[in-house]
Structure 1
Amino acid sequence: FLVWNVEFPTARIGEFDTELVREFFQALSTHGGITLHVDALHGFNSHHIAEAAFKAVARALREAVETDPRKSDAIPSTKGAL
């Protein structure tokens, strides 16, 4: 499931259609079986908005799947089960 609150001021970044950014995240959330929220709080440059979205999601995914070395024997879930 994707919640997408991102608007691009231009339809293209060079030859790249900005609609494809949302399509990528839609496919990632659907085929990855994850709920994904992407919000752009502000921005004026389409390139920087897209770059920030990719970087923020990458960091969130890394944090979500990274094991905590302090709890290496625990199930990596806030509910204690997967």
Structure 2
Amino acid sequence: MRKSRITRKTNETDIKIKLDVDGTGKSKINTPIGFFNHMLEAFSKHGLFDLEIDVKGDIEVDQHHTVEDIGIALGNAFLDALDDKKGINRSGYFVYPMDEALAVVAIDLSGRPYLQYDAEFKRRYCGELDTDLLHDFFEAFAVNLKANVVVRMPYGRSDHHKIEAIFKAFAKAMKMACEKDDRIKGVLSTKGVI
């Protein structure tokens, strides 16, 4: 059973996450940022992860704490659910088109956290989401999952389409990386550990 429950409570945020890696894409997302809810729902649906996220954050100060702390907690949730990473593909990638936008996401659950992020947006906000904070979300996720994450947006016109394509590619790449393969004995590493 690859499941986890994470609670992260600070002076700035209170986050509860329930994750089932082997789910069917059901989600219940409740953050104070509507457009971010939509993206996390898309992540759950396209990755087939059952995901519940409940967040209270100090967005009257800024969205930064909330968005970054969700990345921290979600990374921790996957780290906990995947346990020793035995039998999984370990890496995954996806190229996702959404109308005129194209997103590329590649992930290696290597134990070595790193983010390579190349995505720019025309507007500071998409809905009420501060687009500048997407980098912080993915960086927090990568560091706390101890994964190498590459996010690229080579082209697109609509910021909404660009961001949604990124989250759908992110979902598909994570799904591929988390999938089990009966041929893999132990962890998929010449070192024998991840």
1:26-45 aligned within 5 A? 26-45=139-158
State the Cα RMSD in Å.
1.7
Gaps of 5+ in 1: none
Give a deviation string over 1:34-80, Cα, whole Å, max 9, x none: 111100111011111111111111111111111124x2x62351537
Question: Quick one: which amino acid aligns to residue 155 of structure 2?
Answer: H
Q: Distance in 2 between matches of 1:80 and 1:66?
A: 20
Q: Distance in 2 between matches of 1:24 and 1:79?
A: 31
In the superposition, the TM-score normalised over structure 1's length comes to: 0.84
Q: Distance in 2 between matches of 1:65 and 1:76?
A: 12
Q: Is the helix fraction higher in 1 or 2?
A: 1
Structure 1 residue 81 displacement after superposition: 2.5
Question: Quick one: which amino acid aligns to residue 148 of structure 2?
Answer: T
Structure 1 residue 25 displacement after superposition: 0.4
Gaps of 5+ in 2: 1-113
1:30 aligns to what SS in structure 2?
helix
Q: Distance in 2 between matches of 1:13 and 1:39?
A: 18
What fraction of aligned residue pairs are identical, expressed as a percent? 31
Alignment-derived partner of residue 176 in structure 2 = 63
Alignment-derived partner of residue 75 in structure 1 = 186
Structure 1 segments (4+ residues) deviating >6 Å: none
Q: Distance in 2 between matches of 1:79 and 1:59?
A: 25
Question: Quick one: which amino acid aligns to residue 47 of structure 1?
Answer: H
Q: Distance in 2 between matches of 1:15 and 1:46?
A: 12
In the superposition, the TM-score normalised over structure 2's length comes to: 0.38
Question: Quick one: which amino acid aligns to residue 186 of structure 2?
Answer: I
Q: Distance in 2 between matches of 1:57 and 1:76?
A: 22
Q: Is the strand fraction higher in 1 or 2?
A: 2
Count of equivalent residues: 80
Q: Distance in 2 between matches of 1:55 and 1:79?
A: 30
